[in-house]
Structure 1
Amino acid sequence: MKNVFLTSALCCFLALASCSSSDDSSSSSDPTPVINTAAQGTWRVTSFVDSGNDETNHFTGYNFTFASSNVLTASNGTNTYTGMWSVTSDDSDDDNPSGDLDFNIGFAAPADFEELTEDWDIVSYTSTVISLIHVSGGNGGTDTLVFTKN
């Protein structure tokens, strides 16, 4: 009986010891590569889906510039809106597919641009496409946002 207990306890200990922690310091939590990618050139919104509603057309003709000092501008040649942006490490244990990074966007106006104000999770990014997702904590709606480099 004593051997059964010790064997069971040892198996439990080994199982727990082999689990990995989600708080590792992997390179996916380093915001620098994403910041460098976004800061290169201008971008356009090629998809914005707000809780199932395609609202991409609200951003047609706008070029987005992710500049230094966290300044974000959107301009269509007639109108220019200024906001903020950053990429930050997020230690929360969500199911962020790109690790623990948030792509933060903030606009105070106009209303269509305020819709982009979120702490987006990065789905993927390349030198030409940045794909983001946000799952609302309130209503559970899912928003997706895709920037494509000009």
Structure 2
Amino acid sequence: MKKFFLIPLLFSVFMLNVASTCSNDDDSNDDDDNNSSSAIITQTQNTFVNGSWRVTLFSEDGSNQTSQFSDYDFVFETNGTLTAENGSNTMSGTWTTGTDDSTPKFIINFSVTNGPFEEISEDWQILNTSATRVELKHVSGGDGSIDLLTFEKN
């Protein structure tokens, strides 16, 4: 009779141990996602504040609009300010970073109400960052259109 009592008890202990092990695995995956987003954001921040940058691609819903930024040099300051200059025009804005549903974002804001600088004033998903190139993507909340923005270091 004692043997029959021990079998269910041992089975219950075994099942509790399995359940707690699975729970710990799920938590560590969430931490990895958050750490990965943080690393991408930090890398992008550190990259942008070094030197000046040019737009080498701005595609708005499949239409190449890169020429609207020709000759503009972009400088991202550590205090979150942003300037774009082409010799005769200077545009001032701000930049910051964040996450949206664990997606690393780079947010650009120029205080204009029309033109190309309004079009790049968005929350951009960070696709790829290297020492000399940053690739960004924005998906419109209205119609789902996709914009691409690439900066390359001068």
Q: Which residue of 2 is the match for residue 93 of structure 1?
A: 101
1:132 equivalent to 2:136? Answer yes
Q: 1:16 to 1:136 in 2, by over 3 A?
A: farther
Q: Within 1, Cα distance between the matches of 2:107 and 2:140?
A: 14
Deviation, structure 1 residue 26: 1.6
1:102 equivalent to 2:129? Answer no
Residue type of the alignment partner of 2:107 = N
Residues 122 and 138 in structure 2, CA contact (< 8 A), matched pair in contact too = yes
Residue type of the alignment partner of 1:123 = L
> What is the CA deviation profile of residues 83-105 of structure 1, one whole-angstrom value per residue up to 9, with x for unaligned ones?
111122x1x336x4xxxx21010
Deviation, structure 1 residue 18: 5.2
Please give the root-mean-square deviation of Cα atoms over the aligned residues, in Å: 2.6
Task: Tell me the SS of whatever aligns to 1:69.
Answer: coil
> What is the CA deviation profile of residues 87-134 of structure 1, one whole-angstrom value per residue up to 9, with x for unaligned ones?
22x1x336x4xxxx2101001225210100111010001010000001
Provide the TM-score with structure 2 as the length reference.
0.77
Matches within 5 A, 1:37-52: 37-52=47-62
Q: Which runs of 4+ in 1 moved over 2 A?
A: 13-25, 30-33
Residue type of the alignment partner of 1:93 = D
Q: Within 2, Cα distance between the matches of 1:23 and 1:115?
A: 34
Aligned length: 139
Deviation, structure 1 residue 17: 6.8
**76-85 or 103-112, which deviates more:** 103-112
Is there any run of 5+ residues in structure 1 with no aligned partner, and where? 1-5
Provide the TM-score with structure 1 as the length reference.
0.78
Q: Which residue of 1 is the match for residue 4 of structure 2?
A: none
Task: Tell me the SS of whatever aligns to 2:137.
Answer: strand
